[in-house]
């Protein structure tokens, strides 16, 4: 079943075309890795899907509905989004519980000063599932990179979305942390969810994803299933200067 | 005398509530730029208004001044937030700050003596001289602030913490950011009228910034900021009456001392 379809997408920032002629389709459930070097247009693609950027051309169809430039509330409720961590205000003394709770805001009507037991239960259940229940009353900024990433994942997952859009969730995370997050993502796919994972680590894409989508210089250069023989061609499409980061299978491979 | 004391207590409570919320949210949403620019824009607007009243021979009541100031603050705030979203925040803040201060200086220099005194009251403020119009406006601002902060407490936290994520959810993130910024701007206005521009920054930025650094939870920050401001206002009023000096400067000093002591106490307690 097609969960997301992008047709002939073009994104411009002023005169600068960051994405052009991008088309692909994602079936559910699957883990799709969007890879490419820095500045390739990966984040812009994700932002266009979630409706944060209005495309100058093309279409984004989510759950069979045209969501180009503006995603309807009921569709947003079915999407979990984890933005890059550098957009977060780290000076703010916010607790992990409050961060996770913010994932449920659209589902609770104001005022939310006193929260129902159901809401609290959901927060505790998801934190238990991700192994962060001991961190609930700690400040987010006091956590390690891997813990912070799991908290942001919990915030995206607490509303039980059908599709997860993750922007560089493995950056600044140690190897053990990466393994835990990737295993969690695989489990989510097994349970029927679709994950769109933006990463610049080609090894992770090859080893963990069902499909690999390579974006470079604003265009899709490669899109194929991991098990297909085409994967060998991926290296050819990857920019020459970044091929050296292809040392073979890493110790934490699937 | 009793009526005046009751009025001063009411004003102190109202201003403390406004300041408690605003100080917390201005610091966590990194809106220092709003406090600085709005206060100076309002000052320039008031100077221009008083000069116009002198040149064109019309009377400006307190209520009119409040209403015009609110309009100036809201319009400036909307423009600033919109510009902030498109970057270049520092440049715009510097430009607005410098140009508005210059405009204020220009009109103040042209004012006749009797209006200079009135203009000066917006710089140094004097809580002992509040008018019934001031109390009414303060009450309305406090009411609106308390209702909106209570209703949208979590939205305000989210847009301050992670705007990118907020925009991806079903909540009206951009509207929330505007409402929060408007509340901060109107609180700036209230402070300029009651304690004066010189002390506005101390009241609206110091408690929140210091308490955030001291790692208090957001709800606790609001409560402690309110208590610090209330205590400072009451203490400065008592000292002003006893020593026959203006209270605003004393209030600013009290806020800074109390916030610092709270920070120290927290640091010691966390060891």
The string of pLDDT tens digits covering residues A46-90 is 999 999 999 999 999 999 999 888 889 899 999 999 998 888 888
> Lowest-confidence range among A187-191, A241-245, B2-6, B159-163?
A241-245
Q: A78 vs A196, A230, B126, CA distance in Å?
A: 14, 32, 54
The answer to whether the Cβ–Cβ distance between B161 and A112 falls below 8 Å is no
Q: In degrees, to the nearest 5, what angle opens at C-alpha A127 toward C-alphas A125 and A131?
A: 120
Radius of gyration of chain A measured on its C-alpha atoms: 18
Q: A41 vs A46, A106, B77, CA distance in Å?
A: 9, 29, 33
Structure tokens at A226: 């991991």
Is the CB of B147 inside 8 Å of chain A's CB atoms?
no
In sign, the C-alpha dihedral spanning B225, B227, B228, B232 is positive
pLDDT of residue A236: 64
Strands (E), chain A: 2-13, 16-27, 31-35, 57-62, 65-66, 79-82, 163-167, 194-198, 211-216, 219-225
Rama region for A69: left / alpha / beta (φ>0; ψ in -120 to 50; rest):
left
Nearest Cβ partner of B168 from A81, A89, A110? A81
Q: Is A202 helix (H, G, I), strand (E, B) or coil?
A: helix
Q: In degrees, to the nearest 5, what angle opens at C-alpha B71 toward C-alphas B69 and B76?
A: 95
Crossing angle of helices B132-151 and B2-28, in 10° steps, is 40
Is the CB of A97 inside 8 Å of chain B's CB atoms?
no
pLDDT of residue B28: 93
pLDDT of residue B84: 73
Can you tell me the distance from the alpha carbon of A180 to that of A188, in angstroms, rounded to the nearest whole number? 12
Q: Which residues from B are below 8 Å from A198, CB to CB?
A: none
- Give alpha helix (H) positions in chain A: 42-50, 73-76, 96-101, 117-129, 145-157, 175-190, 202-208, 231-237
pLDDT digits (tens, 9 = 90+) for A215-248: 888 888 888 776 666 666 666 666 655 554 444 4
Query: Could you give phi then psi for residue B51, rounded to 5 degrees?
Result: -65, -40
In sign, the C-alpha dihedral spanning B55, B56, B60, B65 is negative
Q: Which residues from A are below 8 Å from B160, CB to CB?
A: 89, 92
pLDDT digits (tens, 9 = 90+) for A126-166: 999 888 999 999 999 999 888 999 999 999 999 999 999 99
Nearest to B209 by CA among B40, B28, B52: B28
pLDDT at A117 over 90: no
Cβ–Cβ under 8 Å, residues B227 and B21: no
Can you tell me the distance from the alpha carbon of B94 to that of B86, in angstroms, rounded to the nearest whole number? 16
Cβ–Cβ under 8 Å, residues B186 and B74: yes
pLDDT digits (tens, 9 = 90+) for B222-247: 999 999 999 999 999 999 999 999 89
Domain segments of chain A as ranges: 83-159
pLDDT at A250 over 60: no
Nearest Cβ partner of B157 from A79, A87, A94? A94
Nearest Cβ partner of B158 from A74, A102, A110? A102
Can you tell me the distance from the alpha carbon of A33 to that of A212, in angstroms, rounded to the nearest whole number? 5
Can you tell me the distance from the alpha carbon of A50 to that of A60, in angstroms, rounded to the nearest whole number? 9
Nearest to B72 by CA among B23, B122, B22: B122
Q: Which residues from B are below 8 Å from A85, CB to CB?
A: none
């Amino acid at each position: 079943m097609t969960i997301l379809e992008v047709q002939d997408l073009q994104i411009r920032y002023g005169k600068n075309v960051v994405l052009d002629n991008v088309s692909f389709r994602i079936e559910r459930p699957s883990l799709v890795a969007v890879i490419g070097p820095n500045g390739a247009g990966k984040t812009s693609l994700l932002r266009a899907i979630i409706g944060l950027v209005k495309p100058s051309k093309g279409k984004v169809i989510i759950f069979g509905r045209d969501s180009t430039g503006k995603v309807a509330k009921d569709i947003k409720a079915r999407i979990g989004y984890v933005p890059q961590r550098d957009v977060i205000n780290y000076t703010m003394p916010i607790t992990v519980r409050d961060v996770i709770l913010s994932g449920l805001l659209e589902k609770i009507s104001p005022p939310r000063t006193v929260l129902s037991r159901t809401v609290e239960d959901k927060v505790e259940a998801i934190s238990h599932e991700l192994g962060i229940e001991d961190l609930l009353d700690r400040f987010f900024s006091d956590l390690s990179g891997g813990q912070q990433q799991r908290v942001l994942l919990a915030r995206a997952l607490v509303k039980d979305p059908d599709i997860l859009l993750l922007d560089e969730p493995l950056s600044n995370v140690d190897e053990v942390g990466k393994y835990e997050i990737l295993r969690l993502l695989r489990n989510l796919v097994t349970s029927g969810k679709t994950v769109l994972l933006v990463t610049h680590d080609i090894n992770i894409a090859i080893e963990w994803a069902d499909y690999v989508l390579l974006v470079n210089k604003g265009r899709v250069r490669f899109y194929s299933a991991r098990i297909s023989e085409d994967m060998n061609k991926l290296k050819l499409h990857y920019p020459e200067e970044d091929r050296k980061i292809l040392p073979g299978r890493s110790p934490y491979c699937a | 005398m009793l009526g005046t004391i009751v009025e001063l207590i009411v004003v102190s409570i109202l201003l403390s509530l406004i300041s408690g919320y605003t100080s917390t949210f201005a610091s966590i949403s990194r809106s220092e730029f709003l406090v600085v620019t709005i206060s100076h824009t309002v000052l320039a607007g008031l100077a221009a208004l008083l000069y116009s009243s002198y040149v064109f021979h019309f009377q400006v009541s307190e209520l009119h001044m409040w209403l015009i100031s609110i309009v100036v603050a809201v319009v400036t705030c909307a423009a600033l937030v919109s510009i902030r979203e498109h970057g270049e925040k520092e440049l715009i803040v510097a430009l607005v700050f410098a140009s508005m201060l210059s405009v204020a200086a220009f009109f103040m220099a042209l004012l006749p003596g009797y209006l200079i005194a009135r203009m000066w009251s917006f710089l140094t403020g004097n809580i002992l001289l509040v008018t019934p119009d001031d109390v009414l406006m303060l009450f309305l601002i406090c009411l609106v602030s308390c209702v909106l902060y209570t209703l949208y407490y979590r939205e305000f936290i989210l847009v301050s913490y992670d705007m990118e994520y907020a925009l991806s959810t079903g909540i009206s993130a951009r509207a929330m950011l505007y409402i929060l910024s408007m509340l901060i701007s109107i609180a700036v206005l209230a402070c300029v009228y009651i304690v004066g521009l010189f002390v506005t920054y101390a009241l609206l930025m110091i408690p929140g910034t210091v308490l955030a650094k001291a790692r208090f939870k957001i709800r606790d920050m609001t409560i402690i900021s309110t208590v610090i401001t209330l205590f400072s206002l009451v203490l400065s009023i008592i000292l002003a009456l006893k020593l026959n000096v203006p209270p605003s400067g004393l209030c600013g000093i009290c806020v800074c001392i109390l916030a610092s002591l709270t920070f120290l106490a927290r640091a010691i307690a966390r060891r």
